[in-house]
Structure 1
Amino acid sequence: MTQQDQKPSRSFAGIAGIVAAATLISKVFGLVRQQAIAAAFGVGAAATAYSYAYIIPGFLLILLGGVNGPLHSAVVSVLAKRRREEAAPLVETVTTLVAGSLLVVTVAQILFADAIVDLVGHGLEATTRAIAIQQLRIMAPMALFAGLIGIGFGTLNAANQYWLLSISPLLSSITVVAGLGILAMQLGKDIIKPEYALIGGMVLAWGTLAGAVLQWLVQLIVQWRLGLGTLRLRFDFKSPGVQEVIKIMTPATISSGMMPINVATDLYFASPIPGAAAGFNYANLLVQTPLGIISNIILLPLLPIFAKLAGPENWPDLKLRIRQGLLLTAFTMLPLGALMVSLSVPIVQVVYERGAFKPEATQLVSSLLVAYGIGMFVYLGRDVLVRVFYALGDGQTPFRISIFNILLNIILDWYFVKPFGAPGLVLATVGVNCSSMLMLLWLLDRKLNGLPWREWSLPILGLTAGSLLAGVASYGTLVASQQLLGKTGLLILVLQLCISGFVGIAVFAAIASSMKIPEVNTFISRLRQRFLKK
Structure 2
Amino acid sequence: MSLIKKFATVGGATTLSRVVGFVREALIGAALGAGPMADAFYAAFRFPNLFRRLFAEGAFNSAFIPLFAKELEGGGPEAARKFSEQVLSVLTAWLLFLSALAMITMPFLTRWVIAPGFADDPEKLDMTVLMTQIMFPYLLCMSLVAMLSGMLNSMRHYFLAAFVPILLNAGMIGALVISLGTDMNERDTGLLLSWGVLVSGFAQLGCLYWAVRRQGFGMRLRVPRLTPDVKKLLVLMGPAVLTGGVTQINLLVGQIIASSQEGAIALLNYADRINQLPLGIIGIAVGVVLLPELARSLKAGDHDDAQHLQNRSLEFALCLTLPAAVGFMLFAGPLVNIVYERGAFTPQTTELTAAALAAFATGLPAYVLIKVFSPAFFARLDMKSPMWFSIVAVVVNIVGSVALFPSYGHVGIAAATSIAAWVNFVLLAVVLWRRGDFRPSPETLRRIVFIVLASVAMGAVVLGLDAALASHVHNPSLGVRALTVLVIIGLAAIVYFAIVIATGAIDRDELLGALRRKRKPATGQAAPLEE
TM exceeding 0.5: yes
1:432/1:522 Cα in 2 relative to 1: closer, same or farther (>3 Å)? farther
For residues 455-502 of structure 1, what are the alpha-carbon distances to aligned partners after superposition, in whole Å with 9 as ceiling and x for unaligned?
655543442232133122112202211236753211111121122112
Of 10, 15, 22, the residue aligned with 2:13 is 22
Alignment of 1:49 onto 2:40: yes
Of 31, 45, 53, the residue aligned with 2:22 is 31
- Cα contact 2:334–2:485 (8 A) shared by 1: yes
- Cα contact 2:36–2:262 (8 A) shared by 1: no
Residue aligned with 1:80, SS: helix
How far apart are the structure 2 equivalents of 1:123 and 1:99?
33
Partner of 1:156: 152
For residues 47-95 of structure 1, what are the alpha-carbon distances to aligned partners after superposition, in whole Å with 9 as ceiling and x for unaligned?
11012112220223345444xx332333322222322122221111111
Partner of 1:507: 495
Unaligned runs of 5+ in 1: 1-9
Of 165, 169, 180, the residue aligned with 1:169 is 165
Partner of 2:234: 246
- Cα contact 1:248–1:390 (8 A) shared by 2: no
Q: Percent identity?
A: 25
How far apart are the structure 2 equivalents of 1:453 and 1:485?
42
User: Which residue identity lines up with residue 160 of structure 1 in the other structure?
Assistant: R
Alignment of 1:65-214 (within 5 A): 65-66=56-57, 69-81=58-70, 82=72, 83-119=76-112, 120-124=114-118, 125-186=121-182, 188=183, 191=184, 196-214=185-203
How far apart are the structure 2 equivalents of 1:78 and 1:133?
37
How many residues are matched?
514
Alignment of 1:442 onto 2:436: no
Alignment of 1:464-503 (within 5 A): 464-483=452-471, 486-503=474-491
1:465/1:261 Cα in 2 relative to 1: closer, same or farther (>3 Å)? same
Of 422, 442, 445, the residue aligned with 2:410 is 422
| Higher mean C-alpha deviation, range 73-82 or range 466-475 | 73-82
- Following superposition, the deviation at residue 310 of structure 1 comes to 2.1
TM-score (norm 2): 0.90
- Cα contact 2:473–2:485 (8 A) shared by 1: no
How far apart are the structure 1 equivalents of 2:137 and 2:517?
41
Alignment of 1:382-401 (within 5 A): 382-401=370-389
Kindly report the root-mean-square deviation, in angstroms, between the aligned alpha carbons of the 2 structures: 2.4
- Following superposition, the deviation at residue 290 of structure 1 comes to 3.2
How far apart are the structure 1 equivalents of 2:438 and 2:168?
44
1:155/1:450 Cα in 2 relative to 1: closer, same or farther (>3 Å)? closer
How far apart are the structure 1 equivalents of 2:9 and 2:248?
30
- Cα contact 2:64–2:233 (8 A) shared by 1: yes
User: Which residue identity lines up with residue 99 of structure 1 in the other structure?
Assistant: T
Alignment of 1:302-317 (within 5 A): 302-310=290-298, 313-317=301-305
- Cα contact 1:92–1:229 (8 A) shared by 2: no
Alignment of 1:222 onto 2:216: no
Residue aligned with 1:354, SS: coil
User: Which residue identity lines up with residue 29 of structure 1 in the other structure?
Assistant: V
TM-score (norm 1): 0.90
- Cα contact 1:50–1:132 (8 A) shared by 2: yes
1:236/1:446 Cα in 2 relative to 1: closer, same or farther (>3 Å)? farther
- Cα contact 1:333–1:376 (8 A) shared by 2: yes
- Cα contact 1:348–1:365 (8 A) shared by 2: yes
- Following superposition, the deviation at residue 424 of structure 1 comes to 1.4
- Following superposition, the deviation at residue 514 of structure 1 comes to 4.0
For residues 364-420 of structure 1, what are the alpha-carbon distances to aligned partners after superposition, in whole Å with 9 as ceiling and x for unaligned?
111111112221111010111111111111111111111222211111112222332
Partner of 1:293: 281
Partner of 1:4: none
1:106/1:115 Cα in 2 relative to 1: closer, same or farther (>3 Å)? same
How far apart are the structure 2 equivalents of 1:489 and 1:332?
31
How far apart are the structure 2 equivalents of 1:296 and 1:147?
16
How far apart are the structure 2 equivalents of 1:55 and 1:215?
19
1:39/1:418 Cα in 2 relative to 1: closer, same or farther (>3 Å)? same
- Cα contact 1:40–1:355 (8 A) shared by 2: yes
- Cα contact 2:392–2:424 (8 A) shared by 1: no
User: Which residue identity lines up with residue 168 of structure 1 in the other structure?
Assistant: V
Of 512, 515, 526, the residue aligned with 1:528 is 515
Runs of 4+ more than 6 Å apart: 531-534
- Cα contact 1:96–1:235 (8 A) shared by 2: yes
1:308/1:54 Cα in 2 relative to 1: closer, same or farther (>3 Å)? same
- Cα contact 1:91–1:229 (8 A) shared by 2: no
- Cα contact 1:80–1:307 (8 A) shared by 2: yes
User: Which residue identity lines up with residue 152 of structure 2 in the other structure?
Assistant: L
